[in-house]
Amino acid sequence: MKFERVGQDINSKARAGLITTDHGIIETPIFMPVGTVASVKGVHQRELKEDINPDIILGNTYHLYLRPKTHILEQAGGLHKFMNWDRNILTDSGGYQVYSMSANRKIKEEGVKFKSHIDGSYHVFTPENVMEIQRSIGADIIMAFDECTPYPCDYNYAKRSMHMTHRWLDRCLSHLEKLPFKYDYEQTFFPIVQGSTYKDLRKQSAEYIAECNAEGNAIGGLSVGEPAEEMYAMTEIVCDILPEEKPRYLMGVGTPINILENIALGVDMFDCVMPTRNARNGMLFTAHGTINIKNKKWENDFSPIDEMGITYVDLDYTKAYLKHLFSVNELLGKQIATIHNLGFYIWLVREARKQIVDGNFRTWKDKMVKQMNKRL
């Protein structure tokens, strides 16, 4: 993987870049649609490519390990071929899913024993076998196995967890050296900064991760319920330490406003289920605010979804029609809303990139944050 910086905002730490892998170029800042189980929920790969057009999507190690299982993915020739996706893929390590199943898992130094949400069977994730699983899945960018701490989190627990995450990182790196690539392209490994919302821990973790000299770095353990101001404070501390010549990935973030504010702090890559999950519940994101399409006020509104004239994807439907589809529980409504939201997120990061290159990002970002903070 190669990373090249091609633009820098003069009034913030926002930057534009190019990540090059064996599956193509990723223009940053970038938002990665979440394809948890080898599918971006409700969206055909054709629509994903032609309408939404992301450079990279995300797959989930925990879910792909349980279904369809790694031996099926290996027989298919890896996740790219299995799901007919010839662009970039990033897989998380399963650490967040382990965090979210607090009632059904036990964390020890060796790894994590957890109960499957599908059939109740028991499984173990260790730094070593998670690297093996991600080799089998075959994503272009793979993540270290870490522990994601909850919010709020006791300082001593956060500290112990951070040091264990660092030890797990060392084991990931050591084991990766023994594992050849399974397919005809290379994989890039990102370690993950932890430390909850404690400045000294975040600083320690960022320094440890920076010393690993990986080709890219990730920031985990945020967007887990902490106030946005704390997220931004932790991100700023970490981005000031992580090397400028490497891409930075803020995991699981977030709202459109979160994304713009973190771009301003120097983050390059994002992912979140929000655009797809919220779409299925009738919430639409636009450059001028959010819309609850289920509201009665839209039933005779025959204007486009964003009536200010911005087109995110080529969807020629009115608010009234989409409101009708949700009223009758028609699956097409959820699909249209999902394509719209993902199209908006991709539009947002690409417009941010353009503004960075043109030197206008800070002014544009401040205007967009005010606009998007409205409920229409």
Task: Show which residues are catalytic.
Answer: 92, 271
Q: How far is CA 177 from the centre of its chain?
A: 26
CA dihedral (63, 67, 71, 73) in degrees, to 10, reads -70
d(CA 32, CA 299): 32
Bridge-based pairing of strands 15-21 and 2-8 is: antiparallel
The radius of gyration computed from the CA coordinates of the chain, to the nearest angstrom, equals 20
Backbone angles phi, psi at 249, to 5 degrees: -120, 120
For the stretch 37-56, what's the b/e string if a residue is b when 16 or more beta carbons lie within 10 angstroms of its beta carbon?
Answer: ebbbbbbebebbeebbebbb
Whether 201 and 174 have beta carbons less than 8 Å apart is answered as no
Distance CA 42, CA 331 (A): 9
* Bridge partners, 5 (sequence order): 17
CA of 202: how far to CAs of 162, 194, 210, 308, 371, in Å?
Answer: 9, 6, 12, 41, 32
